């Protein structure tokens, strides 16, 4: 389906736009009272696994704000769950896997996944959202990237230093590559299924990849990112693939080599410097520090203007935060930011 | 006092060395059984505030391993404690301040500190250690850098997103600068006092500075780092000042402008790329991922060799981890790493 608002897709292709497109990671979530009201009655997994609820949550920020893209409400951990890991969201602690992968035998246990069956709830939600949007703006699908899923699967949850996951990667080299191959197959298929369901772009979230040395990234992650992105692009050459991680300033030269259409960067590097490292022949997404939205408008306007200035004079910038919207962010600041970006970047057409 | 082992100081001055010097952040600590035995009977603050205990802990790794420098056992938070913040180390939670700074009035409350009185325990420990080392190796003194102390003082402890501290910095600009001025005065004086007590170098730990955008760093932090380092260097031109932070790959071009003699970097960037950003006319310290030491020797030897190779052909590299030794690190791997660095980097003299 052709969408009316083409800004996001144009920027992904580095075509001229009438104003810089903006969407925000976690644009659906706890900072919105309509979301909190729904969460008071349902667990996160209940919301994700009900296509109707996931559709409602996805549309909440799109009804409230002048966003240039939606992103399906889902979670990166439903894919490894579908591969046999027992997932639970524990209040105050976040997601945990009760049967983490600790040995090569555990990796063998991991089942191949048919996302069209096991993750049909998210694919159905994508179809519902696309129908309801009726071509107003594009919808982004997403998956966890293989590395972050592997780190979760081995560690069993979040961690300060990820000693278990990294040591597995450093020492159990063969099992590590087997695990990454299995996850790459699952991630690729999941992305393809989301595009078939109507996603106009896909973002690969590699939230934890910034814990790695550049050498470890190149040896243990890069080939799998290349495979994932190549396979998606081969099947759908017109669908942008966004690759995002945090703490990645030292990895950006290697990020380029993934082949991603768009690289998402956090706030820990100047956007202009990041773009130089990624290469100006790629689109870039970012990178306002989400904490700015807790200050008064004059403060985040000035910071947002700096981001826009760093990207000025060249097509291919998608405005976003450097990470997700934080839970207690004032919603009126989110609304104001989106309007500010459009107004400030507006170009005579 | 002239020290027999000059490798560390030579490398700080970018002079040729017979082998790459090595010391490790948190080289004294929980991974050593002699330390755990002492901690079973005393709190961290008891150990730090007793010059005899602090001396014993400082010397533990120097007796066990072939290190090229010692670092005084102390904590960055005793300085803000001496300025009026109520410090407590809570088991399982880490250090907290019970009366964090939340307003400009709170900043006014912060008292100037006379480190020669309020922090005499650490200065006495430095004197004791230097006497016991009897010129064998140099001793490094240290302080928290003004930004990390300010972030702790405002936030009241560690945090995931540092919303309170960053928003104070973004919004209460005048109070922020007053706070940084007060901390800069305290940090500078504390460093000078440690050098007078016998420290041959000082390291400024800016553990949390990597949470900032480069723009925020330049506006709110850089001038104070420049002041601190200039004042120390003006009084003691021969004493190296090391500036260290984590997650700083995007900040390194600005780190150069602090004027630090040595820049410490974490493992998230290739050492050679970091050195290019810092400038080859500065010394560099780092940067093995501390998690490597949990793997078998062949694995961390290969990773350590890559660090050495990235620094080869140029004086001015001090080998270190990219952050502190982790609590359950096998001590025999620490011993092996130090010997490996010396052996592998050994140059015919």
Q: Percent of chain B scored above 90 by pLDDT?
A: 95
**B326/A217 Cα distance (integer angstroms):** 22
Contact A153, A186 (CB under 8 A): no
CB neighbours of residue B326 within 10 Å:
18
* Packed helices A222-235 and A173-197: angle between N→C axes, nearest 10 degrees: 20
The C-alpha of A152 sits at a distance from chain B's nearest C-alpha, in angstroms, of 17
* pLDDT for res A2: 82
**Is B13 one of the annotated active-site residues of the chain?**
no
**B332/B129 Cα distance (integer angstroms):** 24
The C-alpha of B6 sits at a distance from chain A's nearest C-alpha, in angstroms, of 30
Question: Quick check: B123 pLDDT over 80?
Answer: yes
Is A161 close to B270, i.e. CB distance below 8 A?
A: no
Residues of B in contact with A247 (CB under 8 A): 210, 247, 268
What mean pLDDT do residues B270-298 have? 97
Closest Cβ opposite residue B250 in set A216, A253, A270: A270
SS3 A245: coil
**Is A41 one of the annotated active-site residues of the chain?**
no
What pLDDT, in 10s, does the model give residues B326-347?
Answer: 999 999 999 999 999 999 997 6
B45: nearest Cα among B68, B67, B75? B75
Kindly identify which residue of chain A lies nearest to residue B252, measuring between CA atoms.
Answer: A269
* pLDDT for res A348: 54
- Residue B27 is encoded by which pair of tokens? 């080289």
The C-alpha of A210 sits at a distance from chain B's nearest C-alpha, in angstroms, of 7
Phi and psi at residue B223, to the nearest 5°: -60, -35
What pLDDT, in 10s, does the model give residues B3-23?
Answer: 999 999 999 999 999 999 999
Residue B137 carries which DSSP code?
S
Contact A207, A165 (CB under 8 A): no
**Average pLDDT value over all residues in chain B:** 96
Dmax over CA atoms of chain A, in Å, equals 60
**A9/A200 Cα distance (integer angstroms):** 8
Kindly identify which residue of chain A lies nearest to residue B267, measuring between CA atoms.
Answer: A213
CB neighbours of residue A36 within 10 Å:
12
Contact A70, A140 (CB under 8 A): yes
B interface with A, Cβ–Cβ below 8 Å: 161-163, 166-167, 170-171, 210-216, 247, 249-251, 253, 267-270, 273-274, 289-292, 294-296, 299, 303, 306, 326, 328
**Annotated catalytic residue, options A68, A75, A106, A206:** A75
- Residue B87 is encoded by which pair of tokens? 């410090």
Strand duo B262-264 + A139-144: pairing: unpaired
**CB pairs A-B closer than 8 Å:** 104
A287 upstream amide cis, omega within 30 of 0? yes
H or E stretch including A54?
helix A51-64
Residues of B in contact with A296 (CB under 8 A): 171
Residues of B in contact with A270 (CB under 8 A): 213-215, 250
Kindly identify which residue of chain B lies nearest to residue A252, measuring between CA atoms.
Answer: B269
**Annotated catalytic residue, options B75, B106, B206, B266:** B75
* Strand extents, DSSP E, A164-316: 201-205, 241-244, 262-264, 283-288
Sign for the pseudo-dihedral over CA of B21, B25, B27, B28? positive
- List the single best residue of A208, A213, A289, A306 to mutate versus B (max B Cβ within 10 A): A213
The C-alpha of B293 sits at a distance from chain A's nearest C-alpha, in angstroms, of 9
- List the single best residue of B249, B290, B292, B294 to mutate versus A (max A Cβ within 10 A): B249
What dihedral angle (degrees, nearest 10) is formed by the CA atoms of A176, A177, A180, A185? -150
**A323/A333 Cα distance (integer angstroms):** 16
**A213/B269 Cα distance (integer angstroms):** 6
Is A210 close to B268, i.e. CB distance below 8 A?
A: yes
| Low pLDDT (below 50) residues in chain A | 349
* pLDDT for res B349: 47
What pLDDT, in 10s, does the model give residues A156-194?
Answer: 998 989 999 999 999 999 999 999 999 999 999 999 999
Question: Quick check: B348 pLDDT over 60?
Answer: no
For residue A172, what are the contacts with CB-CB under 8 A and spacing of at least 6?
A: A103, A104
Contact B278, B243 (CB under 8 A): no
SS3 A41: coil
What pLDDT, in 10s, does the model give residues B49-94?
Answer: 999 999 999 999 999 999 999 999 999 999 999 999 999 999 888 8
Contact A17, A315 (CB under 8 A): yes
The C-alpha of B226 sits at a distance from chain A's nearest C-alpha, in angstroms, of 21
**B158/A160 Cα distance (integer angstroms):** 12
SS3 B119: coil
A144 upstream amide cis, omega within 30 of 0? no
The C-alpha of B294 sits at a distance from chain A's nearest C-alpha, in angstroms, of 7
**Is A174 one of the annotated active-site residues of the chain?**
no
For residue A133, what are the contacts with CB-CB under 8 A and spacing of at least 6?
A: A3, A59, A62, A70, A139
What mean pLDDT do residues B256-266 have? 98
Residues of A in contact with B324 (CB under 8 A): none
Is A249 close to B269, i.e. CB distance below 8 A?
A: yes
Residues of A in contact with B220 (CB under 8 A): none
SS3 B98: coil
Residues of B in contact with A299 (CB under 8 A): 170-171
The C-alpha of B92 sits at a distance from chain A's nearest C-alpha, in angstroms, of 13
Phi and psi at residue B142, to the nearest 5°: -155, 165
Q: Helices (H), strands (E): how many in chain A?
A: 17, 9
- Residue A55 is encoded by which pair of tokens? 């559709």
Kindly identify which residue of chain A lies nearest to residue B292, measuring between CA atoms.
Answer: A167
H or E stretch including A318?
strand A317-321
Residues of A in contact with B253 (CB under 8 A): 273
Is B249 close to A267, i.e. CB distance below 8 A?
A: no
Instruction: For chain A, state the CA radius of gyration.
Output: 19
Give the C-alpha distances (Å, rounded to integers) separating A257 from A131, A247, B87, B338. 35, 18, 47, 35
Is B296 close to A270, i.e. CB distance below 8 A?
A: no
CB neighbours of residue B21 within 10 Å:
27
Contact B38, B47 (CB under 8 A): yes
Phi and psi at residue B126, to the nearest 5°: -60, -45
* pLDDT for res A100: 97
- Residue B250 is encoded by which pair of tokens? 């995007």
Structural domains for chain B: 42-281 (3.20.20.210)
**A65/A339 Cα distance (integer angstroms):** 9
Give the C-alpha distances (Å, rounded to integers) separating B237 from B139, B192, B233. 17, 12, 5
Contact A109, A180 (CB under 8 A): no
* Strand extents, DSSP E, A99-177: 139-144
Kindly identify which residue of chain B lies nearest to residue A165, measuring between CA atoms.
Answer: B291
ipTM higher than 0.90? Answer: yes
């Amino acid at each position: 389906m052709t969408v009316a608002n083409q800004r996001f897709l144009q920027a992904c292709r580095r075509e001229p736009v009438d104003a810089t497109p903006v969407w925000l990671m976690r644009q659906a979530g706890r900072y919105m009272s309509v979301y909190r009201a729904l969460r008071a009655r349902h667990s996160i997994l209940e919301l994700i696994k009900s296509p109707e609820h996931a559709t409602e949550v996805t549309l909440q920020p799109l009804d409230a704000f002048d966003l240039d893209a939606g992103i399906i409400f889902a979670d990166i951990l439903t894919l490894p769950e579908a591969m046999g890991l027992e997932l639970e969201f524990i209040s105050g602690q976040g997601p945990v896997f009760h049967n983490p992968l600790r040995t090569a035998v555990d990796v063998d246990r991991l089942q191949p996944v048919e996302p069209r069956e096991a993750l049909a709830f998210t694919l159905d939600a994508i179809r519902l959202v696309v129908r309801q949007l009726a071509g107003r703006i594009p919808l982004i699908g997403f998956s966890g990237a293989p590395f972050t899923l592997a780190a979760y699967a081995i560690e069993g949850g979040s961690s300060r230093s990820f000693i278990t996951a990294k040591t597995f990667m450093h020492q159990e080299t063969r099992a590590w590559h087997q695990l990454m191959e299995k996850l790459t197959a699952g991630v690729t298929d999941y992305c393809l299924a989301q595009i078939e369901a109507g996603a106009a772009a896909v973002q690969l979230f590699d939230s934890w990849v910034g814990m790695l040395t550049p050498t470890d990234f190149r040896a243990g992650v890069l080939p799998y990112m290349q495979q994932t992105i190549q396979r998606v692009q081969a099947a759908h050459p017109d669908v942008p693939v966004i690759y995002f991680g945090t703490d990645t300033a030292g990895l950006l030269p290697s990020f380029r080599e993934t082949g991603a259409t768009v690289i998402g960067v956090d706030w820990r590097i100047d956007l202009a410097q990041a773009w130089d490292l990624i290469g100006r022949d790629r689109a870039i997404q970012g990178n306002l520090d989400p904490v700015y939205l807790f200050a008064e408008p004059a403060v985040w306007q000035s910071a947002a203007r700096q981001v826009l200035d760093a990207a000025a004079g060249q097509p291919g910038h998608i405005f976003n935060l450097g990470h997700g919207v934080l839970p207690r962010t004032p919603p009126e600041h989110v609304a104001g930011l989106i309007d500010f970006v459009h107004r400030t970047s507006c170009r005579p057409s």
